[in-house]
Amino acid sequence: MCRIMPVTFLLLLGNPYLLAADRAPGAAARAKQVASFLDEHTFAVVRVDFARMQVKPLVDKVARLIPIAKLAETPEEVQRDLQRTREAFLRTGARTLYFVYTLADVARGAPLFIVPLAEGAKADQLHAIFEKEAPLCERRGDVLVAGNRWANQWLRELEPTPRPELVEAFKAAGDAAIQVLLLPPPYSRRVIEELMPTLPAPLGGRPSTILTEGVLWGALSVDGPPRMSVRLVIQSRDAQAATALRTMWLDFLRRLSVQEKARGMVRDFDTAFRLLTPQVEGSRVVLTLSEEDGSLNALLEMIGPPLEAARARTHRTQSMSNLKRLALAMHFYHDRHKTFPPVGSTGPDGKPLLSWRVHLLPHLDQRELYEQFHLDEPWDSPHNRELIDKMPAVFRCPASKFSAKQGLSTYRVVSGKGTVFPPDQAVRLRDIADGTSNTIMIVEVDDDRAVIWTKPEGLPYDPDNPGRGLGGQFHGGFNAAFCDGSVRFLPQTIKPAILRLLLIRNDRTPVPPPSEW
């Protein structure tokens, strides 16, 4: 069950490669399956047909467009987990999953899951899939309903509200395997008109009736193969309202087109403007993108590279934030123990036990995890090995191909004679003779030199090639935390002589200004 929510998230944002399947129930039948679970606060219904989903190409393409790293998983792990979920779901004899979203979900924390039970479907096996995230799992007529602990009370108090637009929205979505219905609650129009009679300036400053009469409901459908297509239909009150909504959207795009930041996020904004121009068909606004006519791929090509660059900038900033937290934790450790932590703790016999990262845990709001370790045992003891996959995300560069649960850290300390982490002693602040602002404490390394986070192993200092292994996460350089708590992005072209000065704490040689690095 843990993969079902990311499945839908990926499908909505990315590329839903699908497999051929038997024709599913029509619009009226689909509406009937969920109608009794919609109330006046329901605002969206999502339908996913697992029988038509092909996982590998889905993840491969979506991985280019969204930061899967934010899920703390690699694309390969996402693919594997989604495939397992899909296979487990289909083994039950079911094929379709609905997500019903209401405003109560803000407090409930999750949507309601509805699974139509085809003949022969195994409800007990479906319960096993849902039980971790949806402890409520019960059969109601021809469907199985699942939700979290709040859903039980919500269902007891539920008073279904007729939503006549439901059938029309399913019809507009066609027979696509992925259908997303936007169903604004009826009262939302009145609230918007009363509280915001005029739209904000970025939306043109026009009457809000353009929205309330222009968007009665919406239907997004995604289908394929052999050619993927995405179709958005918005139902307006009439043709005049549809035309006004389209005009407002085009005005919004024109305002964006003159903003330097917006143009920088799209490779060819003028072409994107054309591709994102919807048509008015009667009382509906319709936008279609497909691989058949090349429009979908063209738009993805325009968005992909700028998005990748923006993602890299975000990851670089996140990595700097991680290093700042680690540097601060180092100083908290020093305040308590009067030294920085050694590369790793050792037992009475001198054998290495656990890395400096483990001993920083109490200073990173991770005391509960710290107390789970057997501190008198090595990192690879049977007990301590069980904790490797609990690595906090702060020890991993967001740009790394590894996920946090793989337990590989891309932040290391350089260990060698004269560094802040020599192999034979714990260093004090006063031992940093060259100044804390001129001495590197922690470095960002490439994935080839990532190390199990609990393993007490420093990055060996190589005076002949001090930059070996540094960088690789970002183009042009790497982040490094200094002993004063600052974090700097050092260029990959930094001179070895300069890097040696920054890594050695007590050579008493002045460091040239950055312009000479």
pLDDT at 217: 97
Nearby residues of 371 by Cβ (< 8 Å), 6 or more positions away: none
Orientation angle between helical segments 123-130 and 75-91, nearest 10 degrees: 150
d(CA 180, CA 89): 20
SS3 at position 461: coil
pLDDT at 377: 95
d(CA 114, CA 97): 6
Q: Which residues of the chain have pLDDT under 50?
A: 1-23, 67-72
pLDDT at 88: 84
- DSSP structure class, residue 65: T
pLDDT at 7: 45
d(CA 293, CA 462): 56
Question: Pick from 434, 468, 431: which is nearest to 449 by CA?
Answer: 468
- Give the CA distances from residue 444 to residues 147, 282, 324, 482, 515, in Å, rounded to whole numbers and listed in that order: 42, 57, 12, 12, 22
Query: How many helices and strands in the chain, by DSSP H and E?
Result: 18, 20
pLDDT at 186: 84
- Give the CA distances from residue 511 to residues 103, 422, 481, in Å, rounded to whole numbers and listed in that order: 59, 21, 16
d(CA 517, CA 514): 5
pLDDT at 59: 63
pLDDT at 85: 81
| Domain definitions of the chain by residue range | 4-251+283-297, 322-516
pLDDT at 502: 94
Q: Which two tokens stand for residue 188?
A: 């939302």
pLDDT at 135: 77
Query: Is 430 within 8 Å of 508 (Cβ atoms)?
Result: no
- pTM for the model: 0.65
d(CA 12, CA 319): 28
Identify the bridge partners of residue 234 per DSSP, sorted by sequence position: 218, 285
d(CA 78, CA 56): 10
pLDDT at 62: 60
